[in-house]
Every structure is written in structure tokens, then in C-alpha cells.
Amino acid sequence: MDTFRYHAPTEIRFGAGLLDELGKHIRGARRVCVVTGRKSAEASGLKERIETLLHGSGVEKVIFGAASPNPPCTEVDAIGARARTARCELVIGVGGGSAMDAAKGVAVGAPNAAPVAELVGTTWPSRALPLLMIPTTAGTGSEVNQYAILTDERIDDKVNLSGPDTYPALALLDPELTLGLPVEYTVDTGVDAFCHAVEGYISRRATPLSDALALEAITRVRHALPNAVARPDDVGARGEMLYAACVAGLVIAQAGTTIVHALGYHLTLRHGVSHGRANAALIAQGLDFNYDAAPTKIGRVYEIFGATRDRAGVEALEAWLHDLGVVTSLAEYGVTDDEIGPYAAYVMTKGNTRSSPRVVNAEDVEWLLRKSL
């Protein structure tokens, strides 16, 4: 067995109704910034509930910030400036991946008084504020990993703000908070978790420990996601998905993602496809594309879906995706042959691509994209 390192500093607490224990985990903070999504936290009453729990635990000041989907760096900067003025001591992310990623940006930007876009890829001077995450979707796993995927409007591209102190201190997983999530968003986020687990499993950066977690997550999502779609008010099915997404987040914290995510970024930025669905649209073709470089691992994924380990096993995965309503033709999302060249060139600039089992060039990517039209 090769030498490897595994680092997962986030405390994880899981259980229905755990939100009520929020006050026990604020680490003595008296001024708190809470970052939510744009609509659901307020509409569901969750925002008011969290504010009540915090004030009841001795918090003197709570400020709220709302994150847009694919949060822009300037939006994160604005929330961070308010948190800095309020002298916040803790940042809580409540929501899906966008809210949690924005919370990480706020935690970094507030003490450093600098635009987060300028902090990407650097060692920032001041340590980030402590982070507590409360996911309300089962998808990104941002509650346990170090990545904050933000949109830098200057270059019209996604960037990754990450460092040793962007790992959350605590992830509070309460499946009751995911009840009632619409089917569309259940699928969008659930297939994102699936892609995280699969891509982390086949990544060149994978370790024996991340592999074990990846197989656990893949197996759970394969059954739990259709159940959560069929029974959206079943807290058991929702809990299975929340757990699986968290485990998949632990996987990519170590192993990262692959060319599939690089391909998905373009669909999101240029065609408005949600992040999870953009990845899912390409995961089957991505596995087939990489099959010869990792037949044992990819064959194992097919086996989990009840298929043979050979190349034909991809058909079972595609059928599962189609049953969930995931469209796997790029043309259906508006991609045309004319954009294949620039699309492939963009994919080749992403570090995810280099983590794939197969060594690729732009011509290979163009071939894959045309095959996926």
C-alpha cells in the first residue's frame, strides 16, 4: 500500500431534531454572522428559528447575509464587510452548497479586509473565523470539506477559495431540515453527491481510506436518492441522503473531483444548468471515457448498479439517471457543435481534468463532448 495522508478535522453531529442543540455549539460567540440562501430559509421559518436559538443561547448580535446560487465574490465581500463591522466571532452557513461556500468566503474575507477574489490561491494573513455548517440539502458536502466554490465576475469563471482554516469546525446534520425539498432540487443536489463519490473514487488523488468512503456513499445514494424522490417526507430516506452527501464530501476533501466537474462548470456558467445536474449529465460518458485507465474501479461502480463490470455496465447507470429525470444529451441543454472547441479548451485549464485516470488532451475532450451531444 502506498503512503497517503488523510485529514478531516470537522466534527460531525447527525440526528433528527439536532438543530435545537445549536446553542451548545457556538463556542462562546456573542456576535454571529449567519449566511443563508436567498429564499428558502426565510420562507420556511428556519431563519427566524435560528435567530431565536442563538439569542436564547446568549448571542448578543446576529447578522444575516443571503447568498445567490453560484455566489459572486463581490456578494461575499459585501457580507464579509458587514460581519467585520459587527465584529462577528463565528460564521454559520445554513442551506445548500452556495450558502455554505459563501459562508466560508465570509469567514476568510471578514478578518482579512480584502476582496476574496484576491485571496484565492494565497495564504491569507489572518486566520479565518470559525465555521459551523447546517446543510439543508443533501448534495455538496461543503459542510465537511475545505472548498468554497465562488464566481469571480472579473474573469466570469468559478474559483476555489480553500485553505486549512476553511474546514468547518462543526457540521450539524439534521435530516428534518431537508424535508419538503422539492423533487427537482432533491435530484439536483443528490446527483451532485453521487458525482462527488464516483469522481473521488476514480481520482488519481484517491487513497485507500477515501475509496472505502466513496464506495459507501455510492452504494447509499444509488438506493436512497430514488427513495427520497418517491417519498419526500420520509425522514429516513432524507437522512440516508444527508449522510451519503456528507460522506461524499469527506471523499472529495481528500481526492478532489475529475474532468466531469470541469465539464460541468461550462454547462453551469454558459447554459445555466444547475451544478449537480450539469455533472450528472456527463458522469456516465465521463466514466466510459476513463474506463480503459481505471477498469477495476469503474467496473465496481457499474456492479453497484447491478450491471456487469465490463464497458456495457454504463447502461445501467444511464438508466438510473434517466429514471431520476436527468437529461444526458448536451444538445438538450443548448450546447452546439460550434462551441465544442472553446468548451474543450476551457476544460483543459481546470485542475480537475488532471486528476482523471486518463491523461487527456484537447482533442480527446472535443471527442468526448461530441459523443455527448
pLDDT digits (tens, 9 = 90+) for 120-129: 999 999 999 9
> What confidence tier does 38 reach under pLDDT thresholds 50, 70, 90?
confident
Please provide residue 94's backbone torsions phi and psi, each rounded to the nearest 5 degrees: -130, 115
CATH number at residue 249: 1.20.1090.10
Residue 70 falls inside a structural domain: yes
CATH number at residue 130: 3.40.50.1970
**CA 363 to CA 367: how far, in whole Å?**
6
* Nearest Cα residue to 140 out of 23, 34, 37: 37
Asked whether residue 44 carries a pLDDT value surpassing 90, the answer given is no
In which domain, by residue range, is 292 found?
Answer: 181-372
Do both 216 and 345 map to the same domain? yes
The runs of H, that is alpha helices, within 135-182 are: none
Average pLDDT over residues 152-174: 95
Query: What confidence tens digit (pLDDT) does each residue in 63-98 have?
Result: 999 999 999 999 999 999 999 999 999 999 999 999
Residue 128 falls inside a structural domain: yes
* Nearest Cα residue to 75 out of 143, 161, 153: 153
**CA 289 to CA 186: how far, in whole Å?**
27
Last residue of a domain, one of 177, 201, 222: 177
**Total number of domains in the chain:** 2
**CA 228 to CA 296: how far, in whole Å?**
30
pTM of the model: 0.95
What does the radius of gyration of the chain's CA atoms come to, in whole angstroms? 20
